Structure 1
Amino acid sequence: MENDIEKVLYVDDEVANLKALKRLFRDEPFGLVTYDSPIQALKDIKTLKPKVVISDHCMPEMAGTEFLEKVKQRLPDSTRIILTGQADLEAAVEAINKGSVYRFIQKPWDNDDLKAQIRSALAHQETIGCLRTMLDSLADEIMANDRTRRTIHKLSMALSSEMKRPLSVITGYAQLLQNALAGDALIHGYLSNIIIQLGILDELANKIESISLAPGVHVMDRLAE
């Protein structure tokens, strides 16, 4: 059924870019939904529930980094990607460090690379789902033992905090290296894999933190906030 198809949302004020991505992804097994207005996209996003959100950075209504920050507030488990030119790399890396953006793709993009990045983002979403299921099972066991719960609370907060800071820094620098060495296909591929794995670790840190709950609160309740 159409409603069961995973959705990818793409926002860009340039209609030509929207049409180009529609052509590029017309044979992919996911549904591409496009908007030329970030404001309208934000109005519809909770209904659409896209797994992946892609945004251009330079838009007249709202910068892509601001748009994706608002997307994060509405759909915190979405995977967010920003398209940016060389002049805006610093803003993109800052957004990654803040956790608003999963990765950035430099314009003009390579079609094969863009396809690979979107497929990786969807695979990343599948990994998040598996982690959520496992951690919910663990949370049920923890809640059955109050002393264990208090101990895990302290450990998970400390572990998540210590993991997230270096992961953000490493991801930002890995992306800078990836763009600086774009002409070396082998190194570029290695760095892409590093960034994917860093993203998975970052999500793991988020899920570990979600275990730190007040008594009686289930993990899924926190995730739904």
Structure 2
Amino acid sequence: MERILLVDDEPMILKALVRLLQRTPCLCDGRLFKLEMVTFTDPVKALDYARENQISLVISDYRMPGMDGVNLLTSIKTLQPNASRIIISGYADLNALIEAINRANIYRFIAKPWNDYELTSTVGQALRHRQLMLENQLLADQRRVALGKLSGNDLMLKRLELEEPGITNVNWGPDGSVILDDEE
């Protein structure tokens, strides 16, 4: 199951995206992707969610109050570099598009109103691209283990971090205990 994070400050846009992605199969190279969608109207809350949960794809609006789509996707890229990123926008701002490509490494820019076929095929292509990247990373890591440049433990830690972001980042106390909440 591929988890898609949808972020737009307009709830009706989110509902339209969910409805489209639920009823239309996302295919690429003959592969059908099963989707789980999580929606947020607040980009800061979406970022908090991305800190704790594995995401395959983020589709974000460009213009939102509090944080624009480029900043959101750049932050998510830092947290989850393997998550694909797409920006949708009703504004054809060339400078914003260039910034999104350069800073957030977006997979694609889709204009609002979108074409349903274009959007669903782009989602399928983005998910397939992500799968291929992950397969390439796994093969490269297996080769590094074979050459002795990466230990088996390090490979296992990388896989755990990929499945559950943040799981390998443990906050240790001065006495060797694990600190569960930074606020105390």
- TM-score normalized with structure 1 length: 0.61
Q: Is it true that 1:137 corresponds to 2:142 in the alignment?
A: yes
Contact conserved, 1:139 with 1:218, CA < 8 A, in 2? no
Quote the offset at 1:219 in angstroms.
Answer: 6.0
The farther-off stretch of 112-121 and 72-81 is: 72-81
Q: Describe the SS at the equivalent of 2:19.
A: helix
Letter of the structure 2 residue corresponding to residue 22 of structure 1? V
Q: Deviations over 1:77-130 (max 9, x none)?
A: 110111123432321222212343222112221111000000111111110121
- Per the alignment, residue 25 of structure 1 pairs with 21
1:18/1:34 contact within 8 Å kept: yes
- Detail structure 1 runs of 4+ shifted over 4 Å in the superposition: 215-225
Same amino acid, percent of matched pairs: 36
Taking the TM superposition and a 5 Å limit, the aligned residue runs for 1:40-189 are 40-143=45-148
Q: Which runs of 5+ in 2 are unaligned?
A: 26-33, 167-184
Which secondary structure state, in structure 2, belongs to the residue aligned with residue 60 of structure 1? coil
Relative to structure 1, the CA distance from residue 73 to residue 123 in structure 2 (aligned partners, 3 Å threshold; closer, same or farther) is same
Larger proportion of strand: 2
The amino acid of 1:80's aligned partner reads: R
Q: Look up the match of 2:10.
A: 14
Q: Deviations over 1:124-175 (max 9, x none)?
A: 111012101210111112326xxxxxxxxxxxxxxxxxxxxxxxxxxxxxxx
Provide the alpha-carbon RMSD of the alignment: 2.4
Q: Distance in 2 between matches of 1:217 and 1:31?
A: 31
**Is the Cα contact below 8 Å between 2:70 and 2:103 reproduced in 1?**
no
Unaligned runs of 5+ in 1: 145-212
Distance 1:53 1:39, change over 3 A: same
Q: Aligned letter for 1:61? A: G
Q: Please say if residues 82 and 101 of structure 1, whose CA atoms lie closer than 8 Å, have aligned partners that are also in contact.
A: yes
- Equivalent residues, number: 152
Rounded to whole Å, the distance in 1 between the matches of 2:99 and 2:41 is: 24
